[in-house]
Amino acid sequence: MAPKHVPTNPKSPQASEDLRGNGDELQQQAGGSHPQLTTNQGIPVADNQNSLKAGPRGPTLLEDFILREKITHFDHERIPERIVHARGSGAHGYFELTHSLAGYTRARVLTEVGVKTPVFTRFSTVAGGAGSVDTPRDVRGFAVKFYTEEGNWDLVGNNIPVFFIQDAMKFPDLVHAVKMEPDRAFPQAASAHDTFWDFISLTPESTHMIMWAMSDRTLPRSLRMIEGFGVHSYRLLDEAGNSTFVKFHWRPELGVQSTVWDEAMKLQAADNDFHRRDLFEAIAAGDFPAWKLCVQLFTEEEAESFPFDHLDPTKIIPEDLVPLQEIGRMVLDRWPDNFFQDTEQVAFCPANIPPGIDFSNDPLLQGRLFSYLDTQLIRLGGPNFHQIPVNAPRCPFANHQRDGYMQMANPGGRVNYEPSSLQDGTPRASQRAGFPSFAERADDAGKGRVRPASFADHYTQARQFFLSLEAPEQAHLASALVFELSKVETLAVRERMVGNLRHVHEELARRVTDGLGLPALPPPPEVAVPAQDMPPAPEVRIIGRMKQTLQGRCIGILIDDGSDAATIKAVRKAAEKDGAQVRIVAPKVGGATLSDGSHLPADGQLAGTPSVLFDAVAIVLDPAAGKQLAKESAAVDFAAFAWAHLKAIAADAGAAPLLKAANVGKDAGVVEAAAVKDFIAAARTRQWAREPKLRTLA
């Protein structure tokens, strides 16, 4: 049975009128007069919000020429750089299954325990170009290519479990809105501008994703510390063709960790390649990044009882409703020999799945099945991009597709068709071994450009997300909204967005209103389904779920001539024992002569190695050096930013003048350098209690 707060039958086949989103309605909302929207052939468009489907919850139809023209044009707008996910880093590795799903699927990659399947994984930002920075506030792509024995499987997702839109018809509009504004070509890799928030404020289905995008999830500490999500529901098919729905989750073994906003901005100046360098150096050091693959499995009947529609990509399935099951482990252990050859040329497509996995009718997924292949055709120069080594299957493959640009593997013989009788050994289809599609009953509601009523609730899970966060995370989210909307020049857009937030949580809307200096709370728009209260989902938090270890983290030790050798040795030993990397920072890259007469080389020069690059810092200085560095702005910033970014600081008596010059206060995260155990304990987390003393948050 569905919980009592379900507003209506969530699986009613009747389309929700508010979700038809026709041009007349949008024009009325946005105001002003607008010409008729048409295709490139001049054909008037009646509905630019919904793709043509076989019934409200049915699959998208190939005959939808408006969708195909729109997405084809979008796919070909940029060459050769990716339109989205252009800034990426990737690595080779393997996936090992630890728990078989043989009861649910015939896909051998998910049934044969202990088999190591090669993978290539690419992480990316979404909005920026290939030359943008690693650390903006942005969603991260998380795409894995499994080279299975039954063909390539591309699990193409993000580090956020939901998406901005419910239908692929809206994807070009979303990306056009968030990209650089076309008349001025800025801002780069940023959503804090008018066109993005104009679109979002007029697209209430984006509200849940905006909660995630404005949270600390989009400011990751490292690519090694992000979760990955397949986003959509897929199907698993067993040998008999029975179906079980599945959602895929990647959980990092290092735990999830973020930066804070001011730190992320300073990282852009300190190291444009911070995440790429971090991934490269970890693999080079043998600290191979690893993730656990988990699944949520549920039946059609169980899905009918959910208080939301699992085919809606703007919704999560809370883990208290369907728990995660761990089934395998992915390890990345080899950086590409040539970045362009692999990381830039790799081509992912969600349509690449082995027998035993199948698609759902999620309308965003249905559009992606078309869009990705179309994109690769223009970006990689033609239909033979699958012959590039990083894209080629590792199992035998053969068909009758010949010629085309860059054909390197044409088979011989006169037969390039089927059926045929003129040549032995030509590829033939096999009903027994071939890819099966789930025999789903067709929706008899008729085709149309509609969305089901079950997609109409845009605010319940957005409210659940906000209320599930810890207090500092809520403050960060509210402050992010204030920052972004403060960059919006159009007052009406700001007010419309804050009005939408009132449906999420009245207090959140009030905090953003105050932060923007609006004279009063803007009125909320009318909605089809008001937000309901759901139990908290603690899995969406970061605070409280961070792994209490220094494994995968980095400690910076600031030294100068005369620094105490024993203290440096003790801090370094304890940090490395707890799994951290240690970097020595000195005014000169040559290092410093320590108190015992030994010389310690530096890993970085002070002026170019700020504390934003580290998870915690130790400052070990001779008194004379401490007085001198208190007059050096780079040293003052080193201490001040560590304090401002809530990091643990270990300091000896010689560092006292520097701490004073940097206005470093006293709390549990500032310890004597000799108290090594206390420093290590404090360094494993952020000092959240410090933040209200340092900055004004919404």
Give Cα 399 to chain centroid, integer Å.
36
Nearest CA to 550 among 521, 573, 517? Answer: 573
Nearest CA to 394 among 90, 88, 92, 110? Answer: 92
State the DSSP string of 340-408.
IIIIIT----TT---TTEEE---HHHHHHHHHHHHHHHHHSSSTTGGGSTTTS-SS----S----TT--
DSSP 17: G
CB 163 within 8 A of CB 182: no
Give the SS3 label for residue 224.
Answer: helix
Q: Annotated binding site: which residue ranges?
A: 82, 122, 171, 368, 372, 379
Give the SS3 label for residue 491.
Answer: helix
> For this structure, is 158 an active site residue?
yes
For the chain, the C-alpha Rg in angstroms (whole number) is: 27
CB 243 within 8 A of CB 300: yes
Burial label for 75, CB within 10 Å (0-12, 13-18, 19+), is buried
In the numeric block, the tokens 């190591």 are attached to 116
> For this structure, is 500 an active site residue?
no
Among the listed residues 50, 85, 275, 384, the single catalytic one is 85
Q: Which CA distances in Å does 275 have to 222, 223, 464?
A: 6, 6, 30
Q: Token pair for residue 391?
A: 């894209």
Give the SS3 label for residue 304.
Answer: helix
Q: Which CA distances in Å does 211 have to 55, 206, 254, 543?
A: 30, 9, 24, 16
Among the listed residues 158, 361, 384, 391, the single catalytic one is 158
Q: Annotated binding site for heme: which residue ranges?
A: 82, 122, 171, 368, 372, 379
Give Cα 388 to chain centroid, integer Å.
26
CB count within 10 Å of CB 489 equals 9
**C-alpha angle 232/243/303, rounded to 5°?**
55
CB 243 within 8 A of CB 357: no
Helices (H), ranges, 565-652: 565-577, 623-629, 633-644
Our CA dihedral for 281, 283, 286, 291, rounded to 10 degrees, sits at 130
Nearest-angstrom CA–CA distance, 175 and 209 = 14
Nearest CA to 187 among 138, 223, 124, 260? Answer: 138
CB count within 10 Å of CB 44 equals 9
Residues belonging to the chain: 698
Nearest-angstrom CA–CA distance, 49 and 153 = 30
CB 501 within 8 A of CB 495: no
- What residues act catalytically? 85, 158
